[in-house]
Amino acid sequence: MLCVLTYHRIVEREDDPECTPGMISATQERFDAHVRFLTRHYEPVALEQVLRGVRQRANLPRRAVLITFDDGYRDFATAAWPILKRHQVPATLFVPTAYPDRPGPVFWWDRLYRSLIETSKESLHAPSVGALTLRNEEERRASFLTIRARLKGLLHDDAMQLVDRLCADLGGSREHESSTILSWEALRALASDGVSLASHTHTHPLLNRISPEQARTEFTTSIRTLEREIGPAFPVVSYPNGAHDDSVLDVLRQCGVELGFTQLPGHNDLSACDPLRLCRINVTRRTSVALLHLRMQSWFAPIERWRKRKRIRAYQSPVASPALYEESRPSRGATPA
């Protein structure tokens, strides 16, 4: 059985105001404790071993674990990889290939959160969400979570238009010269040092919120970009936010994808499971070593799925009507709140 762990950011302060809520997986100290636990009780494997196991129906070590990072944040190189390298543990980094070498916050959630945190406004009327108060940091974080949940139910293009509008209404975020994402130069250095780089699509849309042809373009563009910048690319993808459906999988099979990583909790029997629906355990800043140990038990997977049932249903639900996007749009000439 294979257990796959998902990390995002390793940040020293768990309450770092520069980090979008939900993106911090651990501090360096806790991540080091995670890695030490994994090396004592599990057998860390590389992405190439997992791919070979699927191709050849070969057995992995009995307690195999694959450590993955999504999004390509810069702190993977500065905080996570030094710890992994010190313990001689392989890792896989899933890269959204449109964003390396772009300045400032490039993901929509980081742009929106920065705009909410930095705005001078004390209220906002968000389309299809309603009135939100922004009087303090707690209210701004709560407003961000409310808007984020709403955006994930929209078609991707509608959601991005709404993000642009909200950021403009808030006054936009201040210019940040340095990027939060690893550069191609840094990614090449990591690949040379043994990190496995693979596709996290090109622009990180929820794949079941775009057309099948757009999904095809997202994957093929990301692979071409990886091959141009890094070299031969793995036929592997991590679905942004784990979102996928049968039509997405059909497209990816046609593109030659051999492994697809979801965010569905559970373990993977490579001899029996669908390799395009591999389960992963998402590590959050609340995941202590004891909780990590618990969540990695096979019997705990049904409990995890029950706990995350609303999120799982949300990705399987129909796309929200565009009318909901229009319902709170100010009339021409009106001044947004």
Q: Report the number of distinct structural domains present in the chain.
A: 2
Long-range contacts of 52-59 (CB under 8 A, 24+ apart): 53/2, 53/270, 54/258, 54/259, 54/270, 54/275, 55/258, 57/270, 57/271
pLDDT tens-digit map of 129-170:
889 999 998 999 999 999 998 898 899 999 999 999 999 999
Residue 312 lies in a domain: no
Asked which of 176, 201, 233 is the last residue of a domain, the reply is 176
Residue 255 lies in a domain: yes
Residue 271 lies in a domain: yes
pLDDT higher than threshold 60 for residue 19:
yes
Residue 214 lies in a domain: yes
Mean pLDDT score across all residues of the chain: 88
Q: Model-level pTM?
A: 0.90
In this structure, are 166 and 221 located in the same domain? no
Domain encompassing residue 122: 108-176
Q: What number is the average pLDDT over the span 30-43?
A: 97
Within 8 A by CB and 6+ apart from 278, the residues are: 2, 4, 259, 260, 261, 262, 268
- Report whether 77 contacts 186 (CB < 8 A): yes
In this structure, are 67 and 215 located in the same domain? yes
Residue 131 lies in a domain: yes
- Quick one: pLDDT at residue 302? 85
Closest to 83 measured CA to CA, from 173, 161, 2, 7:
7
Q: State phi, psi for 199 to the nearest 5 degrees.
A: -75, 135
Closest to 2 measured CA to CA, from 90, 49, 93, 64:
64
